Amino acid sequence: MPNKNFILASGSPRRQQFFKTLGIPFTILVKEVDEIYPTHLKAQEITNFLAQLKADAFTNLNDNDVVITSDTIVWHNKQALGKPKDKNDAFAMLQSLANNTHEVITSVCFKTNSKTEIIYDITSVTFGNLTSEMIQYYITNYNPLDKAGAYGIQEWIGEVGIEKIEGSYTNVVGLPVAKVYEYINKNFL
């Protein structure tokens, strides 16, 4: 490994696990920011803005520091679905996704002393029928409140409810691992 200090600025256990799997040494440092974006932004404009907003919280980087931030949304009916506010919000989100196709968009920002670059990925996800009982079971037995769109594809609801995905599975989990690895390999290794 080159003399790079990769800083993963994410509290997501799923993103942290992906970085462990990649075998790239990293530290975790999260800086709290208000994840508010201009209302005129759409789709990947939102995730690009928020990923950069998180990266901009890091100043005075050392020459070997590489800060990596990320943001994921579910884009459905021309609306961004972030993390639900509560269980009722989660229920409403999942009900709206049933028998529909939506996009999961993740942007990843890489910031060094000399440059800031953003990559993103879009995956199309189609849910089949989700009954009220299925949604309630999922909300009761899993934690949808920390996930964009109120679901984890890797959890029960993904296994029983998703009929089709087009694109990166890991992107739906929260990080387009292949694209991230390709970017790191090309720019830092």
Catalytic residue among 34, 71, 121, 146: 71
- What number of residues does the chain have? 189
Tokens representing 172?
């739906």
CA distance 68 to 46: 17
Task: Identify whether 71 is a catalytic site residue.
Answer: yes
Q: 57: exposed, middle or buried (C-beta count within 10 Å: 0-12, 13-18, 19+)?
A: middle
Cα 170 from chain centroid? 9
CA distance 183 to 180: 5
CA distance 116 to 67: 9
CA angle 177–182–184, rounded 5-degree value: 95
Catalytic residues, by residue number, are 71
